[in-house]
Each structure stands twice: as C-alpha cells, then as structure tokens.
A = this chain, B = another copy of it.
Amino acid sequence: MKMIYMDNAATSWPKPDIVYDTILRTMKYYGANPGRSSHTMAIEAANILLYTREMLCQLFNAQDPFRMIFTYNTTDSLNLAIKGVLKNGDHVITTSMEHNSVIRPLMHLADMGVETTIVPGDSEGLIDPSDIKRSMRSNTRLIIATHASNVTGTLMPIESIGKIAKDSGVYFLLDAAQTAGSIPIDISKLPVDLVAMPGHKGLLGPQGTGVLYVREGVELRQIREGGTGSQSESINQPMFLPDRYESGTLNTPGIAGLGAGIRHILNKGQGKIVSHVVNIERLFLNALSQIKGVKVYGPKDMKHRSGIVSINIWDRDSREIVNILSRDYGIATRGSLHCAPLAHKTIGTKEQGTVRFSPGEFNTLDEVKACVRAIGEIGYKIETRSI
C-alpha cells in the first residue's frame, strides 16, 4: 500500500531531491564548524550559512541577512521572541487560535508577572482585529498572532493586526509556523517586528531548523549565551547580530538543506506551489460537502483559508479516524488536539479533536480523490454501525 502523506502541517514530506542532495554533500564535503576557524572547509561551511540567510531575504523580501536568526525550531524562535521582549509588568495580547508554542511560554511568564489577554476567535477561527485594539493597555508591549491556525487553517488578518501594533508603538510577533514558504509574506510591506518560522514545513528544509526574523530597532534580549566564534577574548555575549542569538555550533547541514528548499521554491515559483495547494483544497472541500456525516472546520470563504482541511466524521473520536485512515488506507493525517487546546475550545472540538489533512506541493489530485473515497467509506461504515 503506497502511503498518501497528508501531514505537511506537522512537517513537509517528501522534500525536493535537491534538499537531500545538499544535506548529504554538506556533511561529506563541507562538514567543518562554520565561523570557528579560517581553514578552507570551515570558511565554506560559513558561506553556506550566509547563502541560506540570503535565500530567506529573497523569499521574504528582507534586506539584511544577519537579521535572519537560525534557531532549533519555531518553538525555539517563539521562546526567543517572547522571552527576549517581555519583562515583569508587561502586558501581551494574543489569540485563542495560537499553538501551545505561544500559549505555554506565556503561561510560564504569568508566574513571573507578565499579563496575557487572549482574544477569542469566532466559530470559523477568525480573529476580529478590533478585539485586539480594545484589549490594548498602557503596559501592552507585544501582540502575538498566528498567520494561519494549525487546527482550522484560518488565515488571520495580520495586516490589520500589524497596523494596530505599529500605531500603538508595540511589537508585533507573527507565528508563521503554518505559512512560511507556502503563503507569500513580504516583510518589507507587512508591519511586523518579529517573524518565527520553521525550516521544515513550507520552506521544505529538514527538521532541526527554525528561523526568527528580527526587524532593525527591535530590542531583544538573547535567551542563550555561549561560544559564537566571535569576540573570543570576551567572557560576555557579543551584542551584534546574528551572533548575539546564535551560540554554539549551528546545524550546518540542516541549514544548507533549508537553503536548498528555498531555492527550490524560488526556482519553481511560490505562486505555482500556492495555486496547486489551493486547487487541492478546493477539490477536497467540494467533494467533502457531498458526504453525509462530515463536518469541515474553518472559514467557508476560500480567501480566509490556507490549505488545511480539518474535519470530523459523525461523532467519532478523531484519533480513531486517524488510525483507520493509516491502517486501512495508508493515509497519514493527524488527529486529537494539535497542541492548540484553546483553538479547539473556540471551534467546539475540545473532546473530539479534528482529523487534519494538510496537503502540500507533492500531493496529487488523485491522492485527494483517494482521501475523499476513504472518508466516504468510513462515514458510511459509521452510519451503518459496521465500525
């Protein structure tokens, strides 16, 4: 049974061949420690880092490669952004559609005197920017919003949210975990101060890579200190970028793979990839609307959607459906609460969870049809009590 991979919101798979090749070549031929010496291989390793920073700048239309900080994953990027900005006595506004990678750090900071307001989404997961505006206080320092919900795929009105932040002089942190690479983001136009992103989802790099973009002028403390290969004579952390935020040996082969993934997107054209996923999503949603017992979450309006198709079948536990899809149909999806309990509370699936199909560039329309057939069969079996 050939597997149909529909879990790209967890990590994209497969990667373009050039990503595998680049990682292997980097390990075999440029396997030194970048920025730590001046021998040839160490310099080549350092050039790889710079190349990937430049690819990031090109894709996101940013100017300064040294403001693209390499991290371990989006969670690491978010922890750096959140803990690097907020201090005791600060107030932060976020939404009920956030992943636990935002909510859990904020709950941790609550014990240290940081106040959080969580603005609720509506039944489609949409955030109303005026709710954010109304929540502003004199001590508000940061607004955090996801670009797209990992549960419903709901695309958020980030331009309006960014404008509120800018007008009020507070920082705006964008969680682009679900969109970096797969939905265009123009950093030169979007009023955003910090952008957290994974290397291993829409950017098509390997796991073990994340990025935090830090706009010029943002005051951000580091959360890790250590060797940077720079200012080695000093026992204090360097204050210049990117070194201030990049202590210890970086994931050079992973970052090389990330650069190759972005190169692939730029070569193919991001618009072409986006159109393909939109086509898949439209076909998927149309077909599902014909199937009895299937409930689809998220916005009805395609322009508020980002590619994720999150459903339930009758009242069955989403985990059970995920297991059936994997075992009987070879379809890889994710069920349960997707590490975003408040989002599930918002859309009313705190107990059932949702079955999330997250297609990507390499899925075909035939695969979507196979998913629809599987969902139809499972729905029928549940209705007729044969499973």
In the complex, residue of chain B having the shortest beta-carbon distance to the beta carbon of A40: B326
Contact at A32–B15, with CB atoms within 8 Å?
no
**A206 close to chain B: CB less than 8 A:** yes
List of B residues within 8 angstroms of A226 by Cβ: 75, 78-79, 99-101, 104-105, 339
> Lowest 9 CB-CB distances: which A-B pairs, in order?
A208-B251, A75-B248, A227-B339, A75-B226, A232-B337, A104-B225, A101-B226, A10-B33, A73-B248
**A254 close to chain B: CB less than 8 A:** yes
**A387 close to chain B: CB less than 8 A:** no
List of B residues within 8 angstroms of A28 by Cβ: 14, 20
A92-B229 Cα distance, complex, nearest whole Å: 25
Query: Whole-angstrom distance from the CB of A115 to the nearest CB of chain B?
Result: 15
List of B residues within 8 angstroms of A10 by Cβ: 32-33, 36-37, 42, 249
User: Which of B39, B207, B233, B253 contacts A332, CB < 8 Å?
Assistant: B39
List of B residues within 8 angstroms of A332 by Cβ: 32, 37, 39-42
List of B residues within 8 angstroms of A224 by Cβ: 75-76, 79, 105
Residue-by-residue, is A103-131 near B (CB-CB < 8 Å gives 1, otherwise 0)? 11101100000000000000000000000
Chain A contact-residue range equals: 35 or more
List of B residues within 8 angstroms of A232 by Cβ: 100, 336-341
Count copies of this chain in the complex.
2
Known: A227-B99, A232-B341. A247 touches B27 (CB 8 A): no
Contact at A72–B248, with CB atoms within 8 Å?
yes
Stretch in A141-149, A178-186, A289-297, A317-325 touching the partner: A317-325
Can you list 26 A-B pairs with a CB-CB distance of less than 8 A? Answer: A3-B40, A7-B36, A7-B39, A10-B32, A10-B37, A20-B24, A23-B24, A38-B319, A39-B322, A40-B332, A72-B76, A73-B249, A74-B249, A75-B226, A99-B226, A104-B226, A104-B237, A107-B237, A207-B249, A207-B254, A208-B253, A209-B251, A223-B223, A228-B339, A233-B350, A235-B341
The dominant DSSP class at the A interface is: loop
List of B residues within 8 angstroms of A100 by Cβ: 225-228, 232, 235
List of B residues within 8 angstroms of A223 by Cβ: 79, 223
User: Which of B7, B24, B107 contacts A32, CB < 8 Å?
Assistant: B7
Contact at A39–B326, with CB atoms within 8 Å?
yes
In the complex, residue of chain B having the shortest beta-carbon distance to the beta carbon of A225: B104
Contact at A5–B41, with CB atoms within 8 Å?
yes
Contact at A27–B38, with CB atoms within 8 Å?
no
A334-B32 Cα distance, complex, nearest whole Å: 11
List of B residues within 8 angstroms of A213 by Cβ: none
Residue-by-residue, is A205-237 near B (CB-CB < 8 Å gives 1, otherwise 0)? 011111000000000000111111100111111
Query: Whole-angstrom distance from the CB of A224 to the nearest CB of chain B?
Result: 5
User: Which of B79, B334, B350 contacts A225, CB < 8 Å?
Assistant: B79
